[in-house]
Chain A
């Protein structure tokens, strides 16, 4: 027994002996799908990209229906669908170019590198992932109006078209931003143990995140109350 060994180290040493080498399994060389957050993010960006590219199938099915009546709404369907396809191609190509090389660096450097890389990617990621439900909504609305031109003058349809898409886009973007924020806060919290500046930044970032969440929750509540009030006034 090492006389310098602390009693906690001694306790841990006995446990390490119990752990042994751990479960043996096949070599992980065939495994492409990691379970870490970075791998999951990459997969969701790629999946979302393919979903957007899938708008081509929708276009292929919908275009014959618009034959002979190419109104502004039909052009809108075409425009938004093509925008989705272009964004989807960009997403798939972009996520394929991501390389993860920081794991072999010392922890302080690797965590700082992760933070920098993902903070840089975060705005584009949130906007791109948030755009999917909004684009689907716009395409659906425009297709409905293209097939039912008589209903395009109704206020509710105009509201859905002009406000529905942007609102969905904002909400979905915020949801993606919050997901990334939660992860980056975790990384920043881990980095705080190694870096005094990171510790101070971490505290500020946590305060900012809490404030932002409260603000957005208050805005959503106000929106809900306004909607309910308008509904009752219109009755």
Chain B
């Protein structure tokens, strides 16, 4: 009986991982510089998914639950040598959370700059920005964050404006 339950849990976990497993490395890259810390956080996210799988039980959309657990883990994952990021020029953005340190193409540089700009947001704002970049609807972001869809809209408007200012796209908000 227990073996059956264990097997079912393993299958459910592997199924969720196959569908949404990329959330773990993406969130780890978002909150830690590449290297040991990112690997630790990624592993911790997977561990928390495994541990809280019983509490999920299909009450929410699988992706919503996985975003919640991953972001909660990242936001409470203290590193002792946490660096305070200052709003320096984006030429240095690549040093912060650049997953493409040796890339030279224009798009790679833009992606690198996007990571740099995200790293300059406050951790909670970064979570909202990440969910928006993942193309989650306002309703889903509201379900993950626990604030109203209206409040999500207001905060995202501010965050997008800041991101675009930092990236220097100069695009006006629609």
Contacts and interface: CB of A to CB of B under 8 A. Distances in A.
A131 to B, nearest CB: 23
List the 7 closest pairs (A to B, CB-CB), nearest first.
A193-B124, A106-B146, A108-B146, A22-B25, A12-B133, A190-B75, A37-B78
Interface residues of A, number: 51
A194 B77 contact: no
B85 interface: no
Contacts of A95: none
Scoring A110, A114, A194 by chain B CB atoms within 10 A of each residue's CB, the highest score goes to A194
A195 B147 CA distance: 8
Contacts of A101: 52, 55
Contacts, number: 156
Interface string A176-205: 000000110011011111110000000000
A36 interface: yes
B75 A107 contact: yes
A27 B13 contact: yes
A27 B42 contact: no
Contacts of B48: 34, 36, 103
A28 to B, nearest CB: 4
Given A31-B47, A193-B128, A12 B65 contact: no
Interface of A: 2, 5-9, 11-16, 19-23, 25, 27-29, 31, 34-38, 100-111, 114, 182-183, 186-187, 189-195
Nearest to A5: B135
Contact of B42 (A22, A186, A193): A22
A197 to B, nearest CB: 12
Contacts of A189: 122-124
A38 B76 contact: yes
A192 B145 contact: no
A1 to B, nearest CB: 12
B71 interface: yes
A109 B142 CA distance: 12
Contacts of A106: 68, 143-146
Contacts of B78: 36-37, 182-183, 186
B114 A11 contact: yes
Contacts of A100: 51
B26 A11 contact: no
